[in-house]
Chain A
């Protein structure tokens, strides 16, 4: 389907979504990206190999890849949404997609200097509204520092539960 869209669509831009399960990607797409004249691929980008293949296909099709990564400010909230929504997946899937997508995003930023990377934070307001904010960086170094600080390993976040 992805290959078919690249072949048949006249759109020049291809948006690749990145982020762990229940991070808010689909919600962001639905409210902020759906009107864009782009091919949109709603994925997690949780492996470098998968991302590399996608990027290669896009570039080979003479199109412009743009990454939107949705990172929740609170993994607990995403985990709660995940458990109530994605019953077919194990909690290992949650860990894998969140840690993998962050690792892949850092890898893309380090290896593809020309690709536009947009970092979007999903959060809750005090009155429990789901909101998105674009995080802007003064330079590439700051983006890389941010992505490095967001790496998660060994269920470190789990320790915050109680």
Chain B
């Protein structure tokens, strides 16, 4: 197996839009089940930034720290997104 890279124009509008979506998306917060507890994470880091026993506390924390123009995604026990709150 061999990987041959394409030369990709980073100024192409579609590429710029994709990168912008990723950049903005990394600022969003997710409230997720984390074992028996609940985590607040931005997904991008791959780590639980904060861990709470009660999901309501996790949501409260995420909402209190949401920056303008970002969103808080609240997941259910099955991992599916149940609610999105925009700020």
Contact = CB atoms under 8 A, between A and B. Distances in A.
A77 interface: yes
A76 B8 contact: no
A30 B2 CA distance: 24
A contact residues, range? 35 or more
A41 interface: no
B15 A30 contact: yes
Contacts of B81: 83, 90-91
Given A32-B6, A161-B41, A162-B47, 19 more contacts: A31-B9, A76-B43, A80-B28, A80-B43, A83-B71, A83-B81, A84-B22, A85-B18, A128-B19, A128-B22, A129-B8, A130-B15, A131-B5, A134-B3, A135-B3, A138-B1, A155-B79, A158-B79, A160-B46
Interface of A: 22, 24, 26-27, 29-32, 76-77, 79-81, 83-85, 87, 90-92, 120-121, 124, 128-138, 142, 146, 155, 158, 160-162
Interface of B: 1-6, 8-10, 12-15, 17-19, 21-26, 28, 30, 32, 34, 39, 41, 43-44, 46-48, 71, 73, 79-81, 84
Going nearest first, the 10 A-B pairs with the smallest beta carbon separation are A80-B25, A84-B25, A30-B14, A133-B3, A84-B21, A81-B21, A85-B21, A132-B6, A133-B5, A27-B14
